Structure 1
């Protein structure tokens, strides 16, 4: 039997681009660096959500301070379907829901937003108290009570 040797010529062209071990290590390092930052992005996102809730709580607290001061000096309180009206310094003050805000009007004029992003607002009288419940668009709700001696309820 004759053995024929097949000789293959293999040529290496040094001008062709190749993906070396050094480039592989470098690309893996970049991918790992970027992926290690992902938990930090989530942490920043959670912090932002917490701060937005803090803003809503602060808005609610400022509203309570203003409403308590006005209601203490107010007289002739009237409750009409989701509207609170009272007299203060000869002016008719009205709190009512308008679209997604709770607004304040003086003598049925103006538009002063007191609370924003409101889904629902209810105010009822119970045992010489006004009970106000506000539900915000993120489904959080706050309830407060104001002392009231002379309230007229109209429906």
Structure 2
């Protein structure tokens, strides 16, 4: 029973963490955007998608955030408080490794 309680306590601490919540919301927002576009490539630590009406959408790190840029609509912050992010194309899916300013590490996967 003790290992179960320790695990639940750790999960509760992560959920209370603002960084964790913002990352989860940002991840959901990125997934939604990616579902309505077509994957092009990962290059120079940026993820490229083809949107509607010849719009190119890019997810990238900019300063201390992950942002979405668009050839049509400018840019939009998706996740703030980011120290480092790595986008890795694993053929069929993208691995996103994030380190927050609070030194928390997270790993997410996006399928294409």
Tell me, yes or no, whether TM beats 0.5: yes
Contact 2:95 2:109 in 1 (8 A): yes
Alignment of 1:8-27 (within 5 A): none
TM-score by length of 1: 0.57
Q: Distance in 1 between matches of 2:71 and 2:43?
A: 16
Q: Does 1:59 align with 2:36?
A: no
Q: Which runs of no fewer than 5 residues in structure 1 stay unpaired? A: 1-49, 149-155
Q: Secondary structure at the match of 2:17?
A: helix
- Where does structure 1 differ by over 4 angstroms across 4 or more consecutive aligned residues? none
1:59-89 CA-to-partner distances (Å, cap 9, x unmatched) read 1111111111111221142211111111111
Instruction: Report the counterpart of residue 4 of structure 2 in structure 1.
Output: none
Q: Greater strand percent: which structure?
A: 2
Task: Give the Cα separation in 1 of the matches to 2:30 and 2:75.
Answer: 16
The higher relative CO (CA closer than 8 Å, separation ≥ 6) is in 2
How high is the TM-score relative to the length of structure 2?
0.77
Q: Structure 2, unaligned stretches of length 5 or more?
A: 1-12
RMSD (Å) for aligned C-alpha atoms: 2.2
Of 79, 82, 93, which residue of structure 2 is paired with 1:129? 93
